[in-house]
């Protein structure tokens, strides 16, 4: 099974990714223009086209394929209307055919074909009307460079990056080899303009530059695992079940990156002093204390301030990996950045 987050991200990847392998639009076998190809016919037309264009690498003639439906599910596991997928497998090859349910004149099948046995990869599309084959990534060996491009485009297509990622900050910081053929793990760093994960539109977020680290695992040119900051599942688009210690780290980072602390918090004074346990699963309230060099809250640039050491106490509630409430000195809302 594949959730909507995986399908959408992979489709975004397929449309903009791997420019090194892109070729000019090429036509395959052209059936009558009034004939509408179904997914099986579209896949067969691609295989025929590949056997002509790549006779030494394409699947051989006479291969027996098994076709199966792949459920496309939403974030909560519900069937997703308007999207469909079929998978074709043989002894050495696997192909995924995905498409959106649209009017026939706009219907296009996206096809990814690969051989984990031989190490070949191809990506393209077929127009349902006319059967025109468009090659997006030419037949090539699966290698680290191709996998790195896939992983990088996956991060850029993720909801977190699209919502508030800072352009130009995405950087590959580490590449790890995995214990399987054509498998790699890539570590990317980037910054976002706000706190939070996923699609944050309509949510209360902290407007502060937030660093992120995404670890992307690629197997045979497919993203099989993607975790951000050790707490956000980028495929399932949900928080990973956290321990109390991990939740405390989230709360501590939140206070450390808050405008009040960033403006004049005294480094070395921030410390956790208490943990409270709300009657909610996977939820904690952490109490932190620190001192600042002036009175007041938030970013006080340009204000006339009394220069006096000021103690603060922050109560930060973390629920399922997200900061849902943050109150300083019982009078300053750290999420809304205003007086209660």
pLDDT at 10: 45
Residue 206 near residue 254 (C-beta atoms within 8 A): yes
At 140-173, the pLDDT tens digits run 999 999 999 999 999 999 999 999 999 999 999 9
pLDDT at 180: 85
Residue 227: phi and psi, rounded to 5, are -125, 130
Q: Which pair of structure tokens corresponds to residue 10? A: 């992979």
pLDDT value at 185 more than 60: yes
Q: How much is the average pLDDT of 127-146?
A: 93
pLDDT value at 320 more than 90: no
Instruction: Select the more confidently predicted residue: 178 or 134.
Output: 134
pLDDT value at 26 more than 50: no
Separation of first and last alpha carbons in the chain: 46
Q: Burial-class residue 13 by CB neighbours within 10 Å (0-12, 13-18, 19+).
A: buried
Q: What is the mean pLDDT of the chain?
A: 88
- 27 pLDDT tier (thresholds 50, 70, 90): very low
At 224-268, the pLDDT tens digits run 999 999 889 999 888 888 899 989 999 999 999 999 999 999 999
Q: How far is CA 161 from CA 49, 190, 192, 224, 321, in A?
A: 37, 8, 7, 19, 18
pLDDT at 34: 65
Instruction: Find the Cα–Cα–Cα–Cα dihedral 297, 301, 303, 306, rounded to 10°.
Output: 60
Domain ranges for the chain, please list them.
Answer: 2-140, 144-239, 244-339
pLDDT at 196: 84
At 189-218, the pLDDT tens digits run 999 998 888 887 777 777 889 999 999 999
- 75 pLDDT tier (thresholds 50, 70, 90): low
pLDDT value at 20 more than 50: no
Q: How much is the average pLDDT of 58-64?
A: 93
Q: Burial-class residue 70 by CB neighbours within 10 Å (0-12, 13-18, 19+).
A: middle
Q: How far is CA 308 from CA 271, 295, 297, 298, 328, in A?
A: 20, 7, 13, 16, 18
pLDDT value at 73 more than 80: no
Q: How much is the average pLDDT of 129-142?
A: 93
pLDDT value at 223 more than 70: yes
Q: Which pair of structure tokens corresponds to residue 24? A: 């000019």
Q: How much is the average pLDDT of 306-324?
A: 93
Q: How far is CA 142 from CA 79, 160, 221, in A?
A: 32, 28, 7
Residue 17, SS3 per DSSP? coil
- 17 pLDDT tier (thresholds 50, 70, 90): very low
Residue 197 near residue 239 (C-beta atoms within 8 A): yes
Q: How far is CA 76 from CA 3, 83, 98, 163, 235, in A?
A: 9, 16, 20, 20, 12
Instruction: Select the more confidently predicted residue: 78 or 257.
Output: 257
pTM for the structure as a whole: 0.63
Q: Which residues of 225-239 are buried (b: 16+ CB within 10 A; e: fewer)?
A: ebbbbebbbbbebbb
pLDDT value at 11 more than 60: no
């Amino acid at each position: 099974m594949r959730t909507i987050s995986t399908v959408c991200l992979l489709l975004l990847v397929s449309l903009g990714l791997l420019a090194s392998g892109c070729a000019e639009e090429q036509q395959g076998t052209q059936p009558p223009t009034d004939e509408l190809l179904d997914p099986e016919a579209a896949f067969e037309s691609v295989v025929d086209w590949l056997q002509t264009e790549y006779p030494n690498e394409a699947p051989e003639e006479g291969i027996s394929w098994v076709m199966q439906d792949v459920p496309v599910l939403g974030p909560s596991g519900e069937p997703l209307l308007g999207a469909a997928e079929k998978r074709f497998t043989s002894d050495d090859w696997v192909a995924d055919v995905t498409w959106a349910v649209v009017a026939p004149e706009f219907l296009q099948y996206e096809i990814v074909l690969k051989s984990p046995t031989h190490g070949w990869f191809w990506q393209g599309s077929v127009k349902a009307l006319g059967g025109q084959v468009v090659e997006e990534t030419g037949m090539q060996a699966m290698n680290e460079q191709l996998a790195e491009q896939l992983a990088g485009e996956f991060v850029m297509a993720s909801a977190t990056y699209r919502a508030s990622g800072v352009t130009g900050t995405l950087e590959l910081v580490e590449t790890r080899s995995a214990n399987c053929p054509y498998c790699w793990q890539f570590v990317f760093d980037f910054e976002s303009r706000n706190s939070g994960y996923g699609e944050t539109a309509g949510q209360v977020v902290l407007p502060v530059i937030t660093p992120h680290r995404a670890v992307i695992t690629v197997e045979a040119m497919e993203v099989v695992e993607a975790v951000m900051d050790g707490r956000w599942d980028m495929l399932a688009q949900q928080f990973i079940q956290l321990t109390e210690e991990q939740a405390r780290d989230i709360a501590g980072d939140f206070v450390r990156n808050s405008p009040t602390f960033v403006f004049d918090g005294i480094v070395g004074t921030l410390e956790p002093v208490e943990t409270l346990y709300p009657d909610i699963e996977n939820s904690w309230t952490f109490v932190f204390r620190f001192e600042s060099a002036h009175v007041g809250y938030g970013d006080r640039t340009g204000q006339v301030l009394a220069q006096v050491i000021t103690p603060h106490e922050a109560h930060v509630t973390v629920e399922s990996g997200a900061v849902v409430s943050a109150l300083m000195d019982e009078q300053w809302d750290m999420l809304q950045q205003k007086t209660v």
